[in-house]
Structure 1
Amino acid sequence: MRSLPLAGIRVLDLTRLLPGPLASLHLADLGADVIKIEDTGAGDYARDAKSGYGDVNYFQLINRNKRSLRLDLKQAAGVEVFMRLAGDADVIIESFRPGVVDKLGVGYKAVSSINPKIVYCAITGYGQDGPYRERAGHDLNYLGYSGLLDQIGTQGGTPAMPNFQIGDLLGGSLTALVGILAAIVDARASGHGRYVDVSMTDAVFAHTLFPLLAVLGLGHALPRGEDVLSGGLPCYGVYPTSDGRHFAVGALEPKFWQLLCETIGRPDLKPCAYLMGSEGLRIRRELEAVFVQRSFAEWTAVFDKVDCCVTPVLRFEESLANEQLQARGMVVEIDGVKQFTPPYKISEMPFEVRMPAPAAGEHSDDILREAGFSADEIASLRSRKAI
C-alpha cells in the first residue's frame, strides 16, 4: 500500500478552538504527524467548550489523528523544547494575536533562523498588518466587515446568522491549507520555507464574487435577498411545502427550468425563469402557490424521478442518513461518536482513524524522546511544570 500523501511531514500546531485545529485535522488525515501543543493551564479551550447538546463537544470531532504535548511557552525551558522540535519540523501553525509568538521567542524569524525550510502559518481575524490587526473577533465579525453578512437573509429581513462558520472554516481552515500546502511544495523544491499570513476577513471578502459583480455593474450591491442567487431569480430559490418543509429549486439552465414547469403542470411559466424585480417576485409567488399544494414526501417522490435540480431541503439528521452521503462514506464512528470523513477521495488512500482525539499531554513523553530528550531531561521539565 502506498504511504499517505503527507507522510513524513511534521506539523507543530499551536492553535486552539476551531479554525486552526480543523486545518491541522486535514493535514493529519492526509498523513502528517501533527503535534498539538497546548499550554500547561487550560490548553485548548475547545476541550471544555459547552455545546448545550450533551457530553460531546467539537474538540472530539476535529482533533483525531493528532498527538498532544503540553508545553509552557512562558518558561525559557518550554521555549527551548519548542525550538528543538521546530528545528526538525516542516510546518508551524499559530493563531495568537499578531506579535504574540515573537514576544514568546517562537516566531517565524526565530524559527527560520534555525530551520530555513519551515512553513510558518499565522491565522488571525484581520491579518498581521492594517489598522484592525490587534482587534478581537469571531466569525460573525469577519462576515460583517467583509460585507457578506449584509447579503445573507431574505428580502426585507434582517441579516441571517448561518449555522456554518464561514469565516472560521473558509478563511481560517481551508484558506490556510491552500497557503500551507503551496509553501510545502515550494520548500521541498527550493529548501526555503515561507511565512503564510491568513486573515479570515480577507478570505471571506475575496470570495464575495456576486456582490462584487453587482458593484462593478451597478455601482452598489443589491439588497439582501434580491441578487440573482439570493432570491432575485424565481428559478433559484427555496419553496415551502404544505407541511412546513422546503424544497430547493436550482433550475438555472433553461432545460431544467422548462422540465420543472412541465413537471408541476405550469408550462406557461417557461418564459419566466430569469425575471427579476416585481415580475420575478410575481413568478416566485406563483411557484410558492404550487409547492404549498403538496407535502414534502409527495414532492420528494415526484422529483426523485425528474432530473431538474429540484431537491428536498433535508434536516441535518436526515443528511446523516442520506443514501448518497452514506455511499460516499462521509460519516464514521470513533469511540461511539459520529464524525465526518475527509471530503476528498484520493486514489490509494483509504481513510483511517489512527488515533482518536488525544488527552491533553497524552503523548508528551513519546514526542520528547523522539526529539532526543533523555528520561532525566523529561523528568526535569515535568518537575518545573514546563510540560
Structure 2
Amino acid sequence: MTTATTPGQGPLSGVRVVELAGIGPGPFAAMLLADLGADVVRVDRPDGPGLGIDPARDVTNRNKRSVVVDLKASDGPARVLDLAERADVLIEGYRPGVAERLGVGPADCHARNPRLVYGRMTGWGQDGPLADRAGHDASYIAVTGTLGMIGRPGEPPALPANLLGDYAGGSLYLVVGVLAALHHARATGTGQVVDAAIVDGTAHLSAMIHGMLAAGAWQDRRAANLLDGGCPYYGTYETADGEYMAVGALEPRFYAEFLRLLGLDGLAGAHHDPARWPELRERIAARFKSGTRDDWTARFEGTDACVAPVLSLREAPHHPHLAARATFTEHDGLVQPAPAPRFSATPTRVRTGPALPGTGAQDVARDWDLPEATA
C-alpha cells in the first residue's frame, strides 16, 4: 500500500490515481475517487481543458491536483509513466489504440508497475464494430434500448441530459470496476485493465426491465408501463403556476393516501384497472391544476402519499430535507453536490476547489517523489 497522502479524508486515503484529462465520464469518475479520499493527479493538456467552461468552476475537478504534460512531446510519455509507476490506478478516456500510440497504454504502464489498475472509459468499448467511431451519450444510450423507454408516446424520446449514459452507465461502472480490480491487485499483486463502456453499463442498468419484459410485465413501448409514466399514479403533473409535482403512489396504501389528500373520490379501484387510467389521469391532472406547486407541497408535506415538488437545479439545495442533510455544500462560493455516499468511520468532504491546470506540479513532484525532470 502506498503512503497516505490524504490522511483522514475518506476511505480511499492513500490510494494514488492518475487521470489523463478528458471530458464527461472520465473526470466524473476521477472526482468520485477523489471525493472518497484518493490522491488524484490530473494530467492536463497544454492547450487547456476540453469542457469549455472556466476551470475554476469545473466541479468535476475538485479534490484533485493537476500537472500539465504534452503527451506528443518527446518527454511526455516518460513523465506519465513516472506517475503510473507510483500510482495504484490510471484512468484514460481516449478512443481505442490512442493511449498505445502515445506510449502510455496498458503494456507500457504495466512494464513499469505490474500492480497498476488501468481503467479505460469509452462509449462503445475497446472492441466491436463501432469501437473506433465517434459518439456521445445520446448515441450510446440509443442503441441499448434505454433511450427508447423515455418520453411520451407519439413524441420523440426524451434525452435525460447526459446522466443516464455518461455518468450512470459510464462513470459509476468505471469506479466499480476500478475498485474491484484494486481489491484484486492488493490481494494478488497483479493489476489489470478495466474496460468500462457506456453501452455495457447502460444496458446493465436495464436488467430489471429486461426481466419484466421476459415475464410479460413490461410492454416494449414508451409510457405504457408502471414506471415509465404509463400509469397515472406514477408521473408528473402541471400545477396552476406552470410548475410540476411528481407522483409515485404505487402501493395501495400510498395510493389511498394520495387520493385522500388530493380530494378525489370514487377512484379507489381505478389503479388496478388500466381501462380507467385515462379517467384517473384526467381527474388527477385537473385537480393539480387547481393549486400552485407550493399549495400542493404544503398539502402533501409529512405524508406517505409519495408526492414531491419538481425543483430546478437552483432550487434543489434549498429543499428542507436536502438542506438538513447537507446534500449540497458550498466551497469558495461555489454551490455543488456534496460527496456521496457517507461513511461513519472515514467521512468525506470537499477538501479543495477545482484543480487549475498545472497548479499542483511542485506538490505532486514532492509527494510522489518524482524525478526532477517529471516536475
Cα deviation, residue 317, structure 1: 2.1
Indicate how the Cα distance of structure 1 residues 100 and 59 shifts in structure 2: closer, same or farther if over 3 A, else same: farther
> In structure 2, what residue type is equivalent to 1:181?
L
Aligned to 2:137: 139
Aligned to 2:49: 44
CA deviations 1:126-156 (Å, max 9, x no partner) are: 0001101001111111121111221111232
* Residue 322, structure 1, aligned to residue 308, structure 2: no
CA distance in 1, matches of 2:11, 2:225: 41
> In structure 2, what residue type is equivalent to 1:36?
R
> In structure 2, what residue type is equivalent to 1:21?
P
> In structure 2, what residue type is equivalent to 1:341?
A
Alignment of 1:1-387 (within 5 A): 2=8, 4-40=10-46, 42-46=47-51, 48-49=52-53, 60-209=58-207, 211-213=209-211, 215-218=213-216, 221-276=219-274, 278-373=275-370, 377=373
CA distance in 2, matches of 1:358, 1:305: 41
Aligned to 1:384: none
> In structure 2, what residue type is equivalent to 1:301?
A
In 1, are the aligned partners of 2:19 and 2:40 still within 8 Å (CA)?
yes
Secondary structure, aligned partner of 1:249: strand
Aligned to 1:382: none
Cα deviation, residue 369, structure 1: 4.2
CA deviations 1:77-121 (Å, max 9, x no partner) are: 121122122112100000000011111121112211221111000
**TM-score of the two chains, using structure 1 as the length reference:** 0.89
Secondary structure, aligned partner of 1:239: strand
CA distance in 1, matches of 2:339, 2:8: 18
Indicate how the Cα distance of structure 1 residues 247 and 306 shifts in structure 2: closer, same or farther if over 3 A, else same: same
Cα deviation, residue 304, structure 1: 0.9
Secondary structure, aligned partner of 2:335: strand
Structure 1 gaps of 5+ residues are 50-55, 379-386
In 2, are the aligned partners of 1:241 and 1:292 still within 8 Å (CA)?
yes
Cα deviation, residue 218, structure 1: 4.7
**TM-score of the two chains, using structure 2 as the length reference:** 0.91
Cα deviation, residue 322, structure 1: 0.8
> In structure 1, what residue type is equivalent to 2:308?
T
Indicate how the Cα distance of structure 1 residues 291 and 6 shifts in structure 2: closer, same or farther if over 3 A, else same: same
> In structure 1, what residue type is equivalent to 2:338?
T
CA distance in 2, matches of 1:17, 1:356: 18
Let me know the Cα RMSD of the aligned residues.
Answer: 2.2
In 2, are the aligned partners of 1:25 and 1:62 still within 8 Å (CA)?
yes
Question: How many percent of aligned residue pairs carry the same amino acid?
Answer: 37
In 1, are the aligned partners of 2:338 and 2:349 still within 8 Å (CA)?
no
Cα deviation, residue 359, structure 1: 1.9
> In structure 1, what residue type is equivalent to 2:349?
E
Secondary structure, aligned partner of 2:91: strand
Indicate how the Cα distance of structure 1 residues 334 and 2 shifts in structure 2: closer, same or farther if over 3 A, else same: closer
Indicate how the Cα distance of structure 1 residues 256 and 357 shifts in structure 2: closer, same or farther if over 3 A, else same: same
CA distance in 1, matches of 2:297, 2:102: 58
Deviates more, 1:173-182 or 1:218-227: 218-227
**Number of residue pairs aligned between Structure 1 and Structure 2:** 369
CA distance in 2, matches of 1:363, 1:11: 14
CA distance in 2, matches of 1:19, 1:92: 14
CA distance in 2, matches of 1:352, 1:157: 42
CA distance in 1, matches of 2:251, 2:323: 29
Q: Where is the helix percentage greater, Structure 1 or Structure 2?
A: 1
Indicate how the Cα distance of structure 1 residues 163 and 252 shifts in structure 2: closer, same or farther if over 3 A, else same: same
Secondary structure, aligned partner of 1:332: strand
Indicate how the Cα distance of structure 1 residues 73 and 204 shifts in structure 2: closer, same or farther if over 3 A, else same: same
